[in-house]
Amino acid sequence: MELTNAQWDILEPLMIEPNPREDGKGRPRSDARTILNGILWILRTGAQWKDLPDRYPSYQTCHRRFQEWNRNGTMRNIIRSLANDLRERGEIETEESFIDGTFVPAKKGAQKSGKQSVGRVQRSWQLETATVFLSPFAQKMLHPHEVTLVERTLENTFHRRESERIIGDKAYDSDNLDESISRNYGTKVIAPHRKNRRQPTQDGRELRRYKRRWKIERLFAWLQNFRRLVVRYEYYDFNFDGFIALGCALILLRYF
């Protein structure tokens, strides 16, 4: 499956490309649509770059452009623009957001971001995702508690308005988190109480919203359809981020 003409008409204005040289010298750049289709093939199949079919530009060209787009913010620009467009048209709502973490095994060559436990041969990465069905994300090594990634996730939100409520599981039941998110973002955190909580902070009316948290699990299931996201092979964080953003963009394109 490749981008349709209608999908490319939406994405083409969002691609950040360098201006051509004024002297007209240098090799002409490969067609962006063909390269993006090659990157999508990698995303869907999970294959190695060198296995890219001949109908696409060389794998070196596709990989180089993929890194270029990740560095210049093209991938995040795509998902941000799509999400804001859908919100303005009333296709999605962001007043209520959902947050959860999932774990992605990483090959040993992945870039380190912190201390590693002794004896841990293969590292896992925690992916934090928020919003109604699509959102920002944050990567971190396995050790940190999910709560520590919440503010980092919200700082990278793709939509312009802050959510009124953010809903998570018991892992997000924290007085300090509640106060911090309320103070910095004006957002209320809703999470079931831990068994050891002494002073209840929420009643049943608020916790009824927790039943809709299946939406974040659905997002993870959708992303698992992209085989390149099942295991992290990318050495650099920004490249793995790029694949996640591209997968989310494909989900958003279903609503256009």
Q: Give the per-residue pLDDT at 117.
A: 39
**Where do the domains of the chain lie?**
93-110+123-234
Q: Give the per-residue pLDDT at 119.
A: 34
Q: Give the per-residue pLDDT at 142.
A: 44
Report d(CA 121, CA 141) in Å as an integer. Answer: 13
Q: Give the per-residue pLDDT at 118.
A: 35
Q: How many CA atoms lie within 13 A of 86 on its CB side?
A: 23
On the 0-12 / 13-18 / 19+ scale of CB atoms within 10 A, 4 is exposed
Answer with the residue of higher pLDDT: 253 or 17: 253
Q: Give the per-residue pLDDT at 122.
A: 37
Report d(CA 50, CA 66) in Å as an integer. Answer: 14
Report d(CA 7, CA 93) in Å as an integer. Answer: 22
Tell me which fold the domain 93-110+123-234 belongs to: Nucleotidyltransferase; domain 5 (3.30.420)
Q: What is the average pLDDT value for the chain, to the nearest integer? A: 79
Average pLDDT over residues 61-85: 92
